[in-house]
Amino acid sequence: MPWEKSFDEDLAVENAMQVFWKKGFDSASISDLIEGTGINRGSLYNAFGGKQSLFVKALLKYDADRQAMLARLEALDDPKKAISAFFDSIVANTVADEQHKGCFMFNTALDISAHDNEVRQIVTNGVSEIEAFLRRCIEVGQARGDIRSSMDAKATAKSLLAMIVAIRVLGRGVFAEAALQEIADQAKRLIE
């Protein structure tokens, strides 16, 4: 019998994710993906089927990372602090990325009409989960007396989501760190 598969598919998807994240679906060429993953043309098609299919795998990986991060924040068991930490990490990540890639999911959301239903569904679901996380944080915070109970949890969660979207979009090159932090601070003040 011959040997086993020799390259790490997960690592390849991770690398492909970086390429798609940086360039977007259209602008990322197969050659870019070959270079980024270090995998040969033939192997790439054999392992992943094609560009579209690889993109979905990359987006799913990004989505899994997002899910893990939200779970970590929720495990803090301190809703107000979780929201605060969430915003700080978003600003920090946005600023730290010299390539100004923004958020892969929101980038895709703005380009949503160019994608099929599978992609659309992943994005819609991801955004909904962020919103639900924020709402849960607010509601638990209210139950504990950490957050004003006069506040409309559902509507405020949407506002916070809006702030996140804005930080990610404007952080791609329009706003500098100070302005992004200002938005984040305003977001935190919303739940004071």
Partner DNA sequence: TATAGTTTAGAATGATCGGTATAGACTATC
Partner DNA sequence: GATAGTCTATACCGATCATTCTAAACTATA
What does the binding site for DNA look like in residue numbers (CB under 7 A)?
A: 1-7, 28-32, 38-43, 45-47, 50-52
Question: Nearest to residue 175, comparing CAs of 94, 99, 111, 89?
Answer: 94
Amino acid letter at 30?
Answer: I
Site for a second copy in 150-189 (CB under 8 A): 154-156, 158-159, 161-163, 165-167, 169-170, 172-175, 179, 182-183, 185-187
Task: For the CB of residue 18, give the shortest distance to DNA in the complex, in Å.
Answer: 16
Instruction: From 9-17, 73-81, 85-93, 101-109, give the range in contact with a second copy by CB under 8 A.
Output: 101-109
Looking at 7, 24, 93, 129, which residue binds a second copy (CB under 8 A)? 24
Tokens 């492909």 sit on residue = 16
**What is the Cα 78 distance to its own chain's centre?**
22
Q: What is the CA radius of gyration of the chain?
A: 19
Amino acid letter at 118?
Answer: E
50 binds, among a second copy, DNA, none (CB under 5 to 8 A by kind): DNA
**How far is Cα 106 from Cα 167, in angstroms, rounded to an integer?**
11
Q: Is 132 in the site for a second copy (CB under 8 A)?
A: no
**How far is Cα 133 from Cα 136, in angstroms, rounded to an integer?**
5
127 binds, among DNA, a second copy, none (CB under 5 to 8 A by kind): a second copy
Q: Give, in order, the Cα–Cα distances in Å from 117 to each of 74, 112, 120, 127.
A: 30, 9, 5, 15
Task: For the CB of residue 152, give the shortest distance to a second copy in the complex, in Å.
Answer: 8
Task: For the CB of residue 2, give the shortest distance to a second copy in the complex, in Å.
Answer: 42
Q: Write each residue from 43 to 62 as x if it is in contact with a second copy (CB under 8 A), else as -, in one continuous string.
A: --------------------
Amino acid letter at 128?
Answer: S
Looking at 30, 68, 76, 114, which residue binds a second copy (CB under 8 A)? 114
113 binds, among a second copy, DNA, none (CB under 5 to 8 A by kind): a second copy
Is residue 55 within 8 Å of residue 20, measured between CB atoms?
yes
